[in-house]
């Protein structure tokens, strides 16, 4: 089909668009992802992606599924040059694609890939843009991927985490690295790095090797942690100036220095075993934009927000057993019975179970509130509220709920994903409500401003 | 919000840059004077306030008026701000309002 004797009209990547199909490109394979198996609502199959770079330096991601994936996986080798045609372009999906191009390419089994045998093979050097560990705070709630370099302080054993979304067990290993900013950070290695490189690092950790890691996600579960993604690259003891500099520093001072976890100056940590109201501070948009938060185990955050909307026609309380607080069964006409305590009672406690919407400067979220927390926000007990509801036209009831909206509080929240009718949702529960200390909040905001400025 | 007569947020050190202009600041009352009071700004400088005071003055007051000297304000409005006030937070606010973030303030 393709002949090397016919001169090709080669197009630059920058000139490609989805509306013109007759192109051939000449590109070098600058990154090759692993073959991955997927299983989602639309079916199951295999997929892998590559990064292609042309003479101009433009890059584009190309993805292949199933038959095409199997056909081209062995053909594509890192660093070689290929002529490619009959691929198809569409707008890049930034969730799966970090390559800087508005478009991404898909190759199917009719696409043509031919190696340009007269071109030299050039395996590109991984380009790093290291962030010093003490600067990681400013990447905290951003989607940007970062690179770090540091020496290994600790390697954990391999852990098995069950992914709630598909019940698969995935391996994870945590390593602690530190650099010359006297700060350390935990990097979570997910499969296949957890086992492959992870095992290697476990064996060599006595020697405090230097690792350079490219493409890490920054997350803030109780401080700051870094997580690997599919495209993360780890180089051990690389032969680079930064690596040598760090090795020298470690040799002279680093081995005896005491390091502090980055993010611990953000007042994380416990005061009298209770988390500080300034630790793990996030905006509501951080929580709602990350549906997988709390997948393995529920996670906790603090936030400052106002209740913005409460449905007045929901049943906001339930009849609770006076002994064990469980919901009572209403035996119409003859009182209540408690399944747990095996007793019958004529009266009950009314306990709150409320669902309300909360808003802050960046976002909004529905949250669940119970008992004492709901009482603090609504401003009266469930019994009192019920009395107001049945009195007159319920005007006092409406007013009480209205007065409770748009009052700022500081909350400690528990977040975990939840399946609802095959839909991935999020369950956010208010665990603690605290009044706003304005002077302390202002100071916290000022600290936040200066840390993003530096 | 009435934006017809904007007042710049200043502390003691920034006041001298706005002589003749309308300013606003919060100061700790040191002692009352004939015709006003002597105050200490959030950056520890003396500010002389001239004009009508509220009957009883709390530890901190907000002053809005025209700066008529490098450390003096001819007050139009003086408001009691209570006895607890975080001077450091206000001071940083003044620095931001006149520095990197001045475009966010009127």
HSE value, Cβ hemisphere, 13 Å, CA-based, for A97: 23
In angstroms, rounded to a whole number, what is the distance separating the alpha carbons of residues A60 and B103? 39
Say yes or no for a CB contact (<8 Å) between A443 and B89: yes
- Tell me which residue in A442, A449, A453 faces B86 most closely, judged by beta carbons: A442
Residue A375 to chain B, least CA–CA distance (Å): 29
ipTM of the complex: 0.88
Closest CA to A196 of A239, A228, A151: A228
pTM as predicted = 0.50
Say yes or no for a CB contact (<8 Å) between A453 and B96: no
pLDDT for position A268: 34
pLDDT for position A2: 47
pLDDT for position B59: 92
Closest CA to A99 of A166, A53, A159, A43: A53
- Interval B55-95: pLDDT, tens: 889 999 999 999 999 999 999 999 999 988 999 899 999 99
Dihedral in degrees, nearest 10, Cα atoms A239, A243, A244, A246 = -170
Residue A439 to chain B, least CA–CA distance (Å): 6
Q: Mention every residue, 6+ apart, whose C-beta is less than 8 A from residue A395.
A: none
H/E element holding A69?
helix A66-73
Q: What are phi and psi of B29, to 5 degrees?
A: -75, 125
Tokens at A255, concatenated: 């081995």
H/E element holding B25?
strand B22-33
* Residue A52: DSSP 8-state: E
A 421-450 residues inside an 8 A Cβ radius of B: 439, 442-443, 446, 449
CB-based contact, A454 to chain B, within 8 Å: no
In angstroms, rounded to a whole number, what is the distance separating the alpha carbons of residues A436 and A215? 38
Residues of chain A with pLDDT under 50: 1-3, 5-6, 265-274
Tokens at A165, concatenated: 């979304």
Q: With contacts defined as CB-CB under 8 Å, which chain B residues touch A446? A: 89, 92-93
Contact A56, A14 (CB under 8 A): yes
pLDDT for position A200: 85
Q: Mention every residue, 6+ apart, whose C-beta is less than 8 A from residue B19.
A: B67, B68, B69, B70
């Amino acid at each position: 089909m393709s002949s090397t004797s016919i001169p090709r009209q080669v197009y630059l990547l920058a000139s490609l668009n989805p509306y013109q199909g007759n192109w051939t490109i000449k590109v070098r394979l600058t990154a090759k992802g692993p073959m991955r198996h997927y299983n989602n609502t639309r079916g199951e199959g295999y997929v892998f992606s590559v990064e292609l770079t042309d003479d101009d330096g433009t890059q584009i991601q190309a993805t292949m599924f199933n038959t095409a994936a199997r056909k081209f996986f062995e053909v594509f080798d890192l660093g070689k040059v290929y002529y490619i045609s009959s691929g198809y372009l569409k707008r890049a999906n930034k969730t799966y694609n970090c390559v800087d191009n508005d478009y991404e390419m898909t190759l199917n089994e009719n696409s043509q890939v031919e190696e340009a045998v007269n071109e030299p093979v050039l395996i590109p050097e991984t380009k790093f843009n290291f962030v010093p560990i003490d600067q990681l705070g400013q990447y905290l709630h951003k989607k940007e991927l970062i690179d770090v370099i540091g020496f290994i302080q600790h390697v954990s054993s391999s852990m098995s985490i069950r992914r709630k979304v598909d019940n698969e067990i995935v391996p994870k290993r945590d390593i602690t690295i530190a650099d010359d900013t006297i700060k350390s950070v935990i990097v979570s290695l997910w499969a296949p790095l957890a086992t492959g490189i992870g095992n290697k690092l476990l064996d060599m950790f006595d020697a405090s090797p230097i690792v350079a890691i490219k493409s890490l996600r920054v997350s803030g579960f109780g401080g700051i942690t870094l997580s690997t993604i599919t495209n993360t690259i780890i180089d051990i003891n690389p032969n680079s100036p930064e690596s040598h500099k760090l090795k020298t520093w470690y040799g002279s001072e680093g081995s005896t220095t005491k390091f502090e976890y980055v993010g611990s100056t953000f007042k994380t940590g416990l005061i009298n075993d209770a988390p500080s109201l300034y630790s793990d501070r996030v905006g509501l948009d951080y929580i709602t934009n990350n549906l997988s938060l709390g997948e393995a185990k529920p996670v906790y955050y603090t936030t400052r927000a106002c209740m913005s909307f409460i449905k007045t026609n929901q049943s906001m309380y339930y009849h609770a057993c006076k002994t064990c607080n469980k919901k009572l069964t209403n035996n119409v006409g003859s009182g209540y019975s408690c399944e747990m305590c095996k007793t019958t009672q004529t009266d009950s406690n009314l306990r709150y179970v409320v669902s309300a919407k909360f808003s802050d400067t960046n976002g909004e979220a529905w949250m669940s509130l119970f008992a004492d927390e709901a009482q603090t926000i609504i401003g009266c007990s469930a019994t009192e509220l019920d009395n107001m509801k049945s009195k007159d036209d319920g005007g006092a009831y409406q007013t009480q709920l209205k007065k409770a909206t748009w009052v700022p509080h500081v909350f400690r929240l528990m977040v975990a994903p939840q399946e609802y009718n095959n839909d991935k949702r999020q369950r956010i529960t208010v665990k603690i409500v605290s009044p706003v200390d304005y002077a302390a909040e202002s100071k916290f905001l000022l600290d936040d401003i200066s840390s993003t400025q530096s | 919000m009435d934006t017809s007569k904007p007042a710049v947020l200043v502390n003691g050190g920034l006041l001298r840059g706005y002589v003749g202009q309308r300013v606003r600041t919060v100061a700790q009352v040191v002692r009352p004077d004939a015709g006003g009071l002597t105050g200490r700004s959030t950056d520890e400088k003396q500010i002389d306030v001239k004009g009508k005071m509220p009957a009883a003055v709390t530890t901190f007051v907000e002053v809005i008026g025209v700066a008529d000297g490098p450390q003096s304000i001819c007050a139009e409005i003086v408001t009691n701000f209570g006895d607890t006030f975080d001077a450091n937070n206000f001071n940083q606010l003044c620095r931001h309002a006149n520095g990197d973030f001045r475009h966010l303030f009127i």
